């Protein structure tokens, strides 16, 4: 397959050899279970793994998990497949998976160190285990911004065969789903090398455009009304002002009976609107760094139908989250594998439900009240927000105009996962600024969860945990202290 070499050159040699080891393990399996995460990245990763196995004619099935714990591991073990392929999860428990015939292609912070960080003379775990572990963190690459779970899975997939290069759009989908383009407003690191491959193969278009959500499917008025990053003074949250703003630029809101979307505007109209929005932000005294956030690199699956939610990559990822976070991850998986019939229609209706669930949840969180401690802030939704979306809500709140951005947002939701004692799900979200000051939510959430008898992990900017319900105050106090010490280092 042409164009693959630059990507292979960008992958550190040790990581590529881990991917080759994973590829050998995959090729030699007679049947496999894919264990993956329920979110957009996890679903995209599973689609890559399924397509890879299908092309090798290896029997497989996919199981979705909100998180991996001892309970889910024993369920997987009892299935006794020839191979378990963990995608977008697994690294947080890698030390417990050493004796499993397994491949992990994940980007969460591993619970074991990178090879060169291990004690002198200590034999590498990979020398004697049945586990092949591919993870960017093990090679000094950020799993929060430079490679997603789907991206890592894709690297193993091209190690199986470079004919799998056509699966690269799914890797881009996972990275965008995990908001990995948030920091610099475009994909960076190994994500960028995967993107170049996809662009060269003519599968993805990357172009500078507005960063607001809904380029393909939202009426342009709604896109401006719901804008949040950057927030548009006088326009965000105000439909009438959004309408007047567009009409004032000579942009028609409707074409016949249907509302026009951003993607249906002419290039001239889009440029006029972007220039005017920039001028508006400047006139409202916004800093250049804020004004810059209006545009960024946007990704499009140009071969998909115009106006479809699977054409704009950000919208596609939200569609997948709508499926996965509401118990229908397999619908998202079918869409990823190409179903544009029943699965896509069901996806549409899940998307509508997801949107209203999020807006109700935002109201609930605000009504419960955000409480500030010294170094963190939190809200407790009790049983009123689903544990699968409470993290998204925490991130949305932290990104909204009227919330303090100097402390990470912690959120509680009652856990419905089976457990002997009542557990509570905790989600946390941070900002780039806090990360640059030394905050690492994955380390903090994992350590403090363990200290109160729970499990946790994730990324520096977004992490989660499940802890005994009656220990949440102790958890908050310990977390406040640890975040404080991270920030003062
Ligand atoms: O489990 P997984 O790695 O796929 O999820 C990553 C999570 O981190 C997503 O929920 C994503 O929205 C969140 N994230 C974030 N802000 C970022 C990067 C990731 O909230 N800048
Ligand atoms: O659930 P939530 O969206 O808040 O998760 C944020 C990040 O933390 C995700 O990447 C998720 O996979 C990770 N996480 C984890 N272990 C947990 C809970 C969440 O690694 N117990
Ligand atoms: Zn992920």
The ligand 1 atom at the shortest distance from the C-alpha of residue 41 is 4
Q: Does ligand 1 lie within 6 Å of residue 67's CB atom?
A: no
Instruction: Give the number of the ligand closest to the Cα of residue 318.
Output: 1
Q: Does ligand 1 lie within 6 Å of residue 92's CB atom?
A: no
What does the domain layout of the chain look like in residue ranges? 2-202, 209-360, 369-488
pLDDT at position 71, please? Answer: 86
* Atom 7 of ligand 2, nearest CA residue: 463
165 touches 158 (CB < 8 A): yes
Collapsing DSSP to helix, strand or coil, 208 comes out as strand
* Atom 18 of ligand 1, nearest CA residue: 179
Phi (first) and psi of residue 372, to 5 degrees: -105, 130
Rounded to an integer, the average pLDDT of 139-153 is 98
CA distance 85 to 22: 9
Q: Does ligand 1 lie within 6 Å of residue 182's CB atom?
A: yes
Phi (first) and psi of residue 230, to 5 degrees: -85, 150
Kindly give, in sequence order, each residue whose CB lies less than 8 Å from that of residue 335, ignoring residues fewer than 6 positions away: 310, 319, 320, 323, 343, 344, 347
Rounded to an integer, the average pLDDT of 266-289 is 97
Q: Does ligand 1 lie within 6 Å of residue 188's CB atom?
A: no
Beta bridge partners of 132: 103
Look up residue 116 and give its two tokens. 């060169």
The ligand 2 atom at the shortest distance from the C-alpha of residue 427 is 4
The ligand 1 atom at the shortest distance from the C-alpha of residue 183 is 21
Q: Does ligand 1 lie within 6 Å of residue 106's CB atom?
A: no
Outline where 161-189 has alpha helix (H).
168-177
Note the Cα 215 to chain centre separation in Å: 19
Interval between CA 431 and ligand 1 midpoint (Å)? 11
- pLDDT bin (cut points 50, 70, 90) of residue 114 is low
pLDDT of 84 over the 80 cut? yes
Range 369-488 classified under CATH 3.10.310.40: yes
Look up residue 185 and give its two tokens. 């407003």
Note the Cα 227 to chain centre separation in Å: 20
- Comparing CA positions, the residue from 166, 203, 214, 209 lying closest to residue 303 is 203
Q: Residues with beta carbon < 5 A to ion ligand 3?
A: 41, 88, 149, 178
CA distance 107 to 4: 21
Look up residue 167 and give its two tokens. 């699966």
- pLDDT bin (cut points 50, 70, 90) of residue 128 is low
The fold of the 2-202 domain, in CATH, is: inorganic pyrophosphatase (n-terminal core) (3.90.1640)
Q: Does ligand 2 lie within 6 Å of residue 462's CB atom?
A: yes
pLDDT of 120 over the 60 cut? no
Interval between CA 120 and ligand 1 midpoint (Å)? 34
The count of other CB atoms within 10 Å of the CB of residue 323 is 29
pLDDT at position 80, please? Answer: 87
Q: Does ligand 1 lie within 6 Å of residue 354's CB atom?
A: no
- Comparing CA positions, the residue from 49, 19, 55 lying closest to residue 34 is 49
Percent of the chain scored above 70 by pLDDT? 97
- Comparing CA positions, the residue from 218, 207, 297 lying closest to residue 263 is 218
188-198 CB burial, b ≥16 within 10 A, e <16: bbbbbbbbbbb
Q: Does ligand 1 lie within 6 Å of residue 391's CB atom?
A: yes
Phi (first) and psi of residue 353, to 5 degrees: -65, -40
Cα dihedral 236→239→240→243 (10° resolution): 90
Instruction: Tell me the pLDDT tens digit for each residue of 409-448.
Output: 999 999 988 888 999 999 999 999 999 999 999 999 999 9
Interval between CA 442 and ligand 2 midpoint (Å)? 9
Cα dihedral 233→378→89→38 (10° resolution): -60
Interval between CA 465 and ligand 2 midpoint (Å)? 7
């Amino acid at each position: 397959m042409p164009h693959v070499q630059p990507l292979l050159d960008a992958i550190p040699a040790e990581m590529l050899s881990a991917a080759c080891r994973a590829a050998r393990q995959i090729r030699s399996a007679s049947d496999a279970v894919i264990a993956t995460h329920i979110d957009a990245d996890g679903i995209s990763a599973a689609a890559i793994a399924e397509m890879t196995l299908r092309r090798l004619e290896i029997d497989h099935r996919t199981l979705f998990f909100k998180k991996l714990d001892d309970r889910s591991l024993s369920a997987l073990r009892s299935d006794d497949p020839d191979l378990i392929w963990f995608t977008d999860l697994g690294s947080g428990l890698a030390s417990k998976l050493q004796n499993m015939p397994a491949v992990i292609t994940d980007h969460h912070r591993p619970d074991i160190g990178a090879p060169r960080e291990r004690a002198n003379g200590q034999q590498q775990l990979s020398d004697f285990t049945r586990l092949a572990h591919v993870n960017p963190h093990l090679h000094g690459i950020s799993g929060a911004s430079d490679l997603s779970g789907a991206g890592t899975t894709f690297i193993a997939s091209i190690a199986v065969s470079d004919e799998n290069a056509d699966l690269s759009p799914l890797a881009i989908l996972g990275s965008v789903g995990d908001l990995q383009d948030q920091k610099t407003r475009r994909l960076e690191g190994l994500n960028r090398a995967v993107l170049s491959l996809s662009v060269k193969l003519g599968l993805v278009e990357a172009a500078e455009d507005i960063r607001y959500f809904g380029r393909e499917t939202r009426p342009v008025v709604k896109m401006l009304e719901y804008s949040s990053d950057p927030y548009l003074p006088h326009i965000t949250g105000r439909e009438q002002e959004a309408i007047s703003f567009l009409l004032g630029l000579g942009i028609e809101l409707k074409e016949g009976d249907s509302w026009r979307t951003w993607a249906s505007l002419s290039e001239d109209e889009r440029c006029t609107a972007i220039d005017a929005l920039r001028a508006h932000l400047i006139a409202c005294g916004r800093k250049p760094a804020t004004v810059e956030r209006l545009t960024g690199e946007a990704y499009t699956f140009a071969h998909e139908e115009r106006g479809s939610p699977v054409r704009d990559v950000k919208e596609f990822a939200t569609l997948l989250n709508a499926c996965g976070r509401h118990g229908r991850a397999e619908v998202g998986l079918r869409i990823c594998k190409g179903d544009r019939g029943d699965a896509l229609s069901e996806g549409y209706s899940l998307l509508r439900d997801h949107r209203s669930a999020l807006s109700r949840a935002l109201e609930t969180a605000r009504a419960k009240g955000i409480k500030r401690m010294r170094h963190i802030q939190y809200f407790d939704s009790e049983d009123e927000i689903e544990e699968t979306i409470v993290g998204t809500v925490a991130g949305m709140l932290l990104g909204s105009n009227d919330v303090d951005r100097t402390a990470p947002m912690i959120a509680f939701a009652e856990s419905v996962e089976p457990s002997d004692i009542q557990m509570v799900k905790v989600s946390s979200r941070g900002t780039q600024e806090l990360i640059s000051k030394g905050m690492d939510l994955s380390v903090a959430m994992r350590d403090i969860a363990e200290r109160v008898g729970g499990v946790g992990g994730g990324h520096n900017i977004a992490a989660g945990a499940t802890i005994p319900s009656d220990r949440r105050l102790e958890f908050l106090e310990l977390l406040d202290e640890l975040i404080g010490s991270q920030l003062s280092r």
